[in-house]
């Protein structure tokens, strides 16, 4: 398939974070773009501002006529779309060019020098850092989150260099042709797809085998490559860490060099590891360390990755995408590092019935570490309910007695009744859309 012959691109599930980045890309490269999504979101509103036509009812009549020409239209869909979707089945039955998001991303990046960031945690932040480092070199970066520096999940450059997230879900990353890649972690996840952890690890090995030039891996990984670590012997190593004015300052030793006093603004050792992975990839490509250092100092972060919504003496409200026990642990440790003596509360919306079932004990252990726990109902996303898998079941497993089930309509009231001065809202579901409303309700109660 030649993308140059495609004039129209129609997205089914256009509001997804990965899908909307592709929609932005095609719109910016003079294609006509339209699509469907289940609900309006900030992402769909931003796309509509670009002139992209979007509708929210699964209806053949809602598809604009120009997208019903199979010779000039590419249809892109996300695996989260159900098999009985009317529009998707129309395009499949009419023999349109229908491709998964990952396949299209693979096509776009095939003829570029491709940086790919893989791992069950840290992909979005690491790829956003790397995209920021590579932006002066005209790279085009497809991100799984909204960069605070660019207010977008697309950093548009030329067509010679690409930065992409290599998503393990549905083995999507096997569609890529990476030149330089990293693997940040291989913790058990997506067991609804893989069945067991060993199968997930095998998939990462398959991905590693596709890397043509250099693979960077967190030290201790079961996959071979150049290693990176904090305060441990590794090919890329962070040392001499100090915290000053809420920022990290550290040194980095590379296989061939040493650079001192890198300033990095994001909290948490996991984010230092993300920065180190991005530095290693850029260094292997040949970007001067002094330029990498300058970019790291100006990197502002990614929306919903330890994002401050309120920051005052009386209340701090933090928003984060964490939806796996390892990610929750990383957020908790960042909070304790930044606010060691203040009382904290977590509002958690579990994401997927299967993930909740598969990691119920780990979720309970991670959440029990917080001073207070508020649990919302499970966000189903693409799944049907599983009997017995509920937030109440998770609540029973949490050992901390300062816990309760809450509901959207009572959430602000429950937060106001809390004694916590550090409140963190976690989850990959629609909790991210609730944060602004919670912020607006709480902000009048704090001394800014």
CATH number for domain 307-445, candidates 3.10.450.50, 3.40.190.10, 3.90.190.20, 3.10.110.10: 3.90.190.20
**Helices (H) then strands (E): counts for the chain:** 15, 21
Q: DSSP per residue over 118-181, as a string? A: E-SSSHHHHHHHHHHHHGGGT-EEEEEEEETTTTEEEE---SSEEEEEE--GGGGGGG---SEE
Residue 262, exposed/middle/buried by CB under 10 A (0-12, 13-18, 19+)? buried
CATH number for domain 111-298, candidates 3.40.190.10, 3.40.50.1370, 3.60.15.10, 3.40.1190.10: 3.40.1190.10
Matching fold, domains 3-99 and 111-298: no
For domain 3-99, the CATH superfamily is: NAD(P)-binding Rossmann-like Domain (3.40.50.720)
Using pLDDT thresholds of 50, 70 and 90, give the confidence band for residue 195.
low
Residue 28 confidence (pLDDT) above 60 = yes
Tell me the pairing of strands 307-311 and 316-320: antiparallel
Model confidence over 227-262: pLDDT tens digits?
999 999 999 999 999 988 778 999 999 999 999 999
Predicted confidence at residue 20, as pLDDT, reads 96
Q: Is the CA virtual torsion 117, 160, 16, 67 positive or negative?
A: negative
Helix (H, G, I), strand (E, B) or coil at 46: helix
Residue 272 confidence (pLDDT) above 70 = yes
Average pLDDT over residues 260-273: 93
- Looking at residue 445, what DSSP letter applies? G
Predicted confidence at residue 194, as pLDDT, reads 56
**Distance (Å, whole) CA 243 – CA 247:** 5
Domain borders along the chain are 3-99, 111-298, 307-445
Which carries the bigger pLDDT value, residue 448 or residue 307? 307
What are φ and ψ of residue 399, in 5° steps? -80, -25
- Both tokens of 326, joined, read 């390892």
Predicted confidence at residue 432, as pLDDT, reads 87
């Amino acid at each position: 398939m030649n993308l140059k012959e495609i004039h129209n691109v129609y997205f089914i599930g256009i509001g997804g974070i990965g899908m909307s980045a592709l929609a932005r890309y095609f719109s910016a490269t003079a294609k006509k773009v339209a699509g469907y999504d289940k609900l309006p979101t900030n992402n769909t509103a931003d796309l509509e501002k670009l002139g992209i036509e979007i509708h929210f009812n699964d209806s053949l009549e809602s598809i604009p006529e120009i997208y019903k020409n199979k010779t000039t239209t590419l249809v892109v869909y996300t695996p989260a779309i159900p098999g009985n979707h009317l529009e998707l089945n129309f395009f499949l039955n009419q023999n349109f060019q229908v491709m998964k998001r990952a396949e299209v991303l693979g096509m776009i990046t095939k003829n570029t020098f491709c940086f790919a960031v893989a791992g069950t945690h840290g992909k979005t932040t690491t790829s956003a850092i790397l995209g920021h480092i590579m932006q002066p070199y005209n790279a085009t970066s497809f991100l799984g989150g909204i960069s605070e520096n660019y207010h977008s999940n697309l950093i548009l450059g030329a067509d010679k260099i690409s930065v992409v997230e290599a998503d393990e879900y549905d083995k999507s990353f096997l569609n890529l042709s990476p030149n330089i890649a990293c693997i940040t972690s291989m913790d058990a996840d997506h067991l609804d797809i893989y069945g067991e952890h060993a199968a997930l690890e095998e998939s990462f090995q398959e991905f590693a085998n596709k890397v043509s030039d250099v693979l960077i891996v967190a030290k201790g990984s079961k996959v071979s490559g150049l290693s990176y670590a904090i305060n441990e012997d590794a090919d890329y190593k962070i040392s001499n860490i100090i915290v000053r004015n809420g920022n990290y300052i550290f040194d980095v030793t590379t296989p061939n060099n040493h650079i001192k006093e890198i300033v990095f603004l994001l909290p948490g050792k996991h984010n230092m590891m993300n920065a180190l992975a991005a530095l290693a990839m850029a260094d292997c490509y040949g970007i001067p360390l002094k330029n990498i250092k300058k970019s790291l100092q100006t990197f502002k972060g990614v929306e919903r990755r330890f994002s401050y919504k309120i920051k005052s003496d009386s209340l701090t409200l933090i928003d984060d995408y964490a939806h796996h026990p390892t990610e929750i642990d990383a957020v908790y440790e960042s909070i304790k590092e930044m606010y060691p003596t203040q009382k904290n509360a977590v509002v958690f919306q579990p994401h997927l019935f299967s993930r909740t079932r598969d990691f119920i004990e780990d979720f309970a252990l991670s959440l029990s570490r917080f001073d207070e726990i508020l649990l919302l109902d499970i966000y189903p996303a693409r799944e049907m309910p599983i009997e017995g898998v509920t937030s109440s079941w998770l609540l029973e497993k949490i050992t901390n007695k300062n816990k309760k089930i809450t509901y959207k309509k009572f959430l602000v009231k429950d937060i106001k009744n809390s004694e916590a001065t550090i409140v963190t809202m976690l989850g990959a579901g629609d909790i991210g859309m609730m944060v602004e409303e919670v912020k607006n309700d709480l902000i009048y109660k704090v001394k800014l």
